[in-house]
Amino acid sequence: MGGVTAPLELSLAGRDLLRISDLAPAEAEAILDLAVELRERPKQPLLVGATLGLYFSKHSTRTRVSFSAGMTQLGGAALPLTPEELQLSRGESLPDTARALSRYLDALAVRTHEHAELEAWAEWASIPVINALTAEEHPCQALADALTIRDRLGQLEGVRVAWVGDGSNVLVSLAALGERLGYRVVAACPEGYEPCNTLLQGLEVVRDPREAVEGADVVVTDTWISMGQEHERAKRLLDLEPYRLDRELLALAAPDAFVLHCLPAHPGEEITADVLYGDRSAIWDEAGNRLHVQKALLVLLLGAR
């Protein structure tokens, strides 16, 4: 299924979400608005009889469980599919697997390493395919982050977001969504740790974490060691050490600034425990919003709204 660019009429039905750039600004806003509605009335029978496949070849707590619980709340079901238990691991091709799964499922969420593999799923499946995280993007996370910011500040337009640390998949999606929804991201990343897409208009990359955080409304970080980078652990811990989000760094942000982190967190590495669990952390609300935005996304992609 092909990505669609900025349709005049709002319709996400039958589409894929592989990258934030698949969404027009009005579509991203519609997802956030519906998420708020579903948060207020969580158990609406909008997807009765629908099944979401969860093809995850990487670990997951939040994404897996929020998609599953979300489908249950909407009257549908989710089916976890690990690569090991499919004929795929015995040599059946991805196109054939995608063709067959499309005959049973209504949508497929894929978490994998290479973004190109996600694109192959989308190419061969005839049902909506959702990026549940690749090495390049994490669009469901960005939608939850934008909702959390909008919840707290009442708007996204003009909001100044600081990012500190690794230029991860989460940063790319967050900045791409900012381009669409009006917030700006200044990211402090060490040399060699810049995001894979630095061409985003809503993103400025600097070296000094203090420069990024100074006056920011929101401060965001992510693990220093993303899934698939475990072999670089020692070097990453060393290189990213000056980018830890601690109380001292956060003190440079706006007086009522708050902190986001997609989780899982590594207290003492990218964030200190006092910031993670402190009163300026919006991290647990952010985790909760994963459920609401993904439910909204499913309802819209499956044409139930």
Residue in 15, 19, 62, 138 annotated catalytic: 138
Site for ligand NVA in 249-278 (CB under 6 A): 262
115 is catalytic: no
| Beta strands 258-261 and 218-221, pairing class | parallel
What is the per-residue DSSP string for 115-151? HHHHHHHHHH-SS-EEES--SS--HHHHHHHHHHHHH
As measured in angstroms, the least distance from the Cβ of 229 to ligand NVA is 8
**Token digits of residue 57:** 């070849």
- Check binding of 16 to ligand NVA (CB under 6 A): no
Closer CB to ligand CP, residue 240 or residue 265? Answer: 265
- Check binding of 62 to ligand CP (CB under 6 A): yes
Q: How many CB atoms lie within 10 A of CB 257?
A: 20
As measured in angstroms, the least distance from the Cβ of 126 to ligand NVA is 28
**Token digits of residue 40:** 């207020």
- Check binding of 134 to ligand CP (CB under 6 A): no
In whole angstroms, give the CA distance from residue 169 to residue 141.
10
What is the per-residue DSSP string for 238-252? HHHGGG-B-HHHHTT
As measured in angstroms, the least distance from the Cβ of 264 to ligand CP is 6
292 is catalytic: no
Residue type, 120: A
As measured in angstroms, the least distance from the Cβ of 131 to ligand NVA is 12
Sole window of 24-32, 76-84, 221-229, 231-239 interacting with ligand NVA (rule: CB under 6 A): 221-229
- Check binding of 155 to ligand CP (CB under 6 A): no
As measured in angstroms, the least distance from the Cβ of 62 to ligand CP is 4
In whole angstroms, give the CA distance from residue 207 to residue 209.
6
Burial of residue 58 (number of CB atoms within 10 Å: 0-12, 13-18, 19+):
middle
Sole window of 56-64, 112-120, 181-189, 251-259 interacting with ligand CP (rule: CB under 6 A): 56-64
Strand partners for 162: 186, 219
96 is catalytic: no
- Check binding of 206 to ligand CP (CB under 6 A): no
Positions touching ligand CP (CB under 6 A) are: 60-63, 133, 141, 262-264
Instruction: Please give the positions annotated as active site.
Output: 111, 138, 141, 222, 262, 290
